[in-house]
């Protein structure tokens, strides 16, 4: 593992994109910033612009309306960028699978690096998912 990859892992800046969520997953993500979980101790922080981001967190189903936006956001990111699907919605569709507005799971739209299921997933589960993703990157 080179210096580049090491520093990448030590300073993940996270951009949060809500494609069409019920807002519960988003609140759980904000939980990660609270003193109880404090992801800043791993060097992660939430950024406001996709240009700065290393990780794209997508919550909620990709609807027919947001599909083009998700694609655009993904193409605007400066690579390399990891995509993580948070919650049952972007992984499979969750409770909205049979919705008239469902444009398919997230990995049909953009490549996804990690899936974190749960409705909503616990903050611990998100942290565990990120750790597993980084470990799998190590092995490559």
Binding footprint of ligand SF4 on the chain (CB under 6 A): 21-22, 24-25, 59-60, 87-89, 94-95, 119-120
Does position 69 interact with other proteins (CB under 8 A)? The reply is no
**Which pairs count as long-range contacts for 116-120, CB under 8 Å and 24+ apart, including other chains?**
116/84, 116/85, 116/86, 116/87, 116/91, 117/87, 117/88, 117/91, 117/92, 118/87, 118/88, 119/24, 119/87, 119/88, 119/89, 119/94, 119/95, 120/24, 120/25, 120/27, 120/28, 120/86, 120/87
C-beta closer to ligand SF4: residue 42 or 102:
102
Does position 111 interact with other proteins (CB under 8 A)? The reply is no
79 binds, among ligand SF4, other proteins, none (CB under 5 to 8 A by kind): other proteins
Contact positions toward other proteins, by CB under 8 A? 3-4, 7-8, 10-11, 35, 38, 40-41, 43, 47-49, 51-52, 54, 76, 78-80
């Amino acid at each position: 593992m080179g210096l580049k990859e090491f520093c990448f892992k030590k300073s993940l800046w996270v951009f949060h994109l809500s494609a069409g969520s019920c807002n519960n997953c988003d609140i759980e993500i904000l939980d990660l910033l609270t003193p109880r979980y404090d992801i800043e101790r791993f060097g992660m922080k939430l950024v406001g612009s996709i240009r700065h981001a290393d990780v794209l967190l997508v919550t909620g189903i990709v609807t027919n309306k947001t599909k083009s936006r998700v694609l655009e956001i993904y193409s605007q990111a400066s690579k390399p960028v990891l995509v993580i699907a948070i919650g049952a919605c972007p992984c499979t569709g969750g409770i909205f699978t049979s919705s008239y507005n469902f444009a398919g799971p997230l990995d049909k739209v953009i490549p996804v690096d990690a899936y974190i299921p749960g409705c909503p997933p616990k903050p611990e589960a998100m942290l565990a998912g990120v750790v597993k993703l980084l470990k799998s990157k190590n092995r490559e």
